[in-house]
Structures are given as structure tokens and as C-alpha cells.
Amino acid sequence: MILCQISDTHIKAERRKAYGIVDTSAMLERCVQHVLARPQRPDAVIFTGDLVDWGRHEEYALLRELIQPLLEALPVYLMPGNHDDRQVLRDAFGEHTYLRQWEAFVQYAIDEHPVRLVALDTLIPGSGSGELCAQRLQWLDRTLGAQPDKPTVVALHHPPFATGIGHMDRLTLAGSQALAQVIARHPQVERVIAGHLHRPITVRFAGTVASTCPSPAHQVALDLAPDAADNYVLEPPGYQLHWWSGQQLVSHTAYVGEYEGPYPFRMGGQLID
Ligand SMILES: [Fe+2]
Ligand SMILES: [Fe+2]
């Protein structure tokens, strides 16, 4: 199974550019085409939050248009980030019934693939930070406990770890230590995947591996100073492919764009000297 992760698309109404610079709509279109043109089609796609920029109806309507080729080709799962609005998201994607598995929060489990997907809702309306309250974590503990033998990916928008990028770390995830305690009780969790950082980052977490995903639009500048400037850069846009081998989850970062190659390593069966 190949699970494609796309994160932080930040779509704005009328295809307006994010921060006046980043053409997030065109970049998402290119990302969608790139995913669908891969030699192997993913079995599912999960969008790990910050789907739109301001949680507005018009933005979700445009998001739907932009991802329509994916919606027609394979199962697509959406999740809220700090830029999203739970109710507007649910209204805009009414046929995505998994978004309403639990009324209180947009948390859901998807059981129909070889790897189970469990999505968490870290949204605090009006805040850039995130939260996993006791109610959300009890749901997680219960949900993981119901399928202890199935390899599982837990997805959430805010990463539950510090990254070293000061201005992003100040947007905290309340409850991340309690999350670690829950995850540690359920060793079938192969990976905790997040977004929000607009960069690929990997860390050991609660006996498993936690990671973040690049954005198909802008990336957060890589500056590990506590007082790093709050900047973004237009490094190559990307997304991730989490490949389940049957035994392990192996994660690849893919870059959207035109690059030279492919070139062969060998000519006539011999390595080229
Ligand atoms: Fe974001
Ligand atoms: Fe975010």
C-alpha cells in the first residue's frame, strides 16, 4: 500500500496568492498532476491540515475544484489544521462522511486499507497553536485499543515535538506529552505523521517514529535559532509517499517540478565510467 501525504495547501479564494507571493492554487494543481503521473498510483491520499488559509467557504470550494482529479481517482481524506474551520470543512465536503465520525471533533479512523489511518483534530479556533485535550486523547486510546494488531498511522496537523525552529516551536501542541503516553501503549503505531512545519522532519517519538511533511507550496525557512526570523522560502515543493512493505512503513519525500533526468547508471550492462 502507498499512502500519499500532502500537507499545508493554504488555498485562498479567487486563487489569490498567499502573503501576496505564493501561488498556492497553481502549486496544488501541479502537485495533483505530479501525484497522478507517478509510475505507481497511491492507494489513498491524506491531507494533513491547513487545507485553506482562512477557513472560508469560497476557499474550500476552490480546494475541491483543484483536487477534483484526485477525488475522482482514489480515496482522499481531509483533516483540519490551525488555518481551517471544522464546520465549514464538513459543510464543503458533505459526502466525506468520515469527517463526521465523531461530532465533537474531526477525529476518525479508516479501516479499509492494509494500514489503518487514525486522524486527530488539534485545532484551537483562532489560534496558531494546537491542542489535544483529555477528551480527544481518550478517544485515541479507545480507538487504538479497538484494533491492536493492525499497523496504524496516526495523523495530526501540529507535530508533537519541538523542531528547533524557534518561531514554529512557540506555536505549541498542548497535550503532546499525554499523546506520547497514549501512543507508547499501542505498539502497532508505525508512524505519527504531521504537517504545519512545511518541511520534512523526522524524530523518535514514544517508541515509534514521528515526522512532518513538506508543503506543495512554500516551505518554512530552515533556521534552527531560537529567535529565527518568521520566514518562508520557495524551496522545491513536495509531498510524501509512505509505502507499506507488508512489514515496515518506509517514507519517501517527492519533489514537484521539472528536474533533469532520469539518466541511466549503466550502458551495455556496465556502470558508466
Ligand atoms: Fe501551514
Ligand atoms: Fe499549521
pLDDT classification of 208: cutoffs 50, 70, 90 = very high
SS3 4: strand
Counted domains in the chain: 1
Q: DSSP letter for 198, please.
A: S
How many Å lie between the centroid of ligand 2 and the Cα of residue 186? 26
8 vs 217: CA distance, rounded Å: 8
How many Å lie between the centroid of ligand 2 and the Cα of residue 74? 25
> Which residues in the chain belong to E strands, given as ranges?
2-6, 44-48, 76-79, 108-110, 116-119, 130-131, 152-155, 173-174, 189-194, 201-205, 208-212, 219-220, 232-233, 238-244, 249-255, 266-267, 270-271
How many Å lie between the centroid of ligand 1 and the Cα of residue 196? 4
How many Å lie between the centroid of ligand 1 and the Cα of residue 10? 7
pLDDT classification of 151: cutoffs 50, 70, 90 = very high
How many Å lie between the centroid of ligand 2 and the Cα of residue 146? 30
Q: Give the structural domain span for 202.
A: 2-271
- Torsion over CA: 126, 127, 131, 133 (sign): negative
Output the domain CATH number for residue 143. Answer: 3.60.21.10
* Residue given cell 491547513 in the structure block: 50
pLDDT tens track for 68-82: 999 999 999 999 999
Q: What is the mean pLDDT of residues 194-210?
A: 98
Pairing of strands 130-131, 173-174: parallel
For the chain, the straight-line distance linking the first and the last C-alpha, in angstroms and rounded, comes to: 37
* Residue given cell 489513498 in the structure block: 44
pLDDT tens track for 5-18: 999 999 999 999 99
Mean pLDDT estimate for the chain: 98
Among all ligands shown, which has an atom nearest to the Cα of 130?
Answer: 2
How many Å lie between the centroid of ligand 2 and the Cα of residue 213? 11
How many Å lie between the centroid of ligand 2 and the Cα of residue 39? 30
**The pLDDT of residue 24:** 98
Among all ligands shown, which has an atom nearest to the Cα of 171?
Answer: 2
Grid cell, residue 119, equals 486522524
How many Å lie between the centroid of ligand 1 and the Cα of residue 8? 4
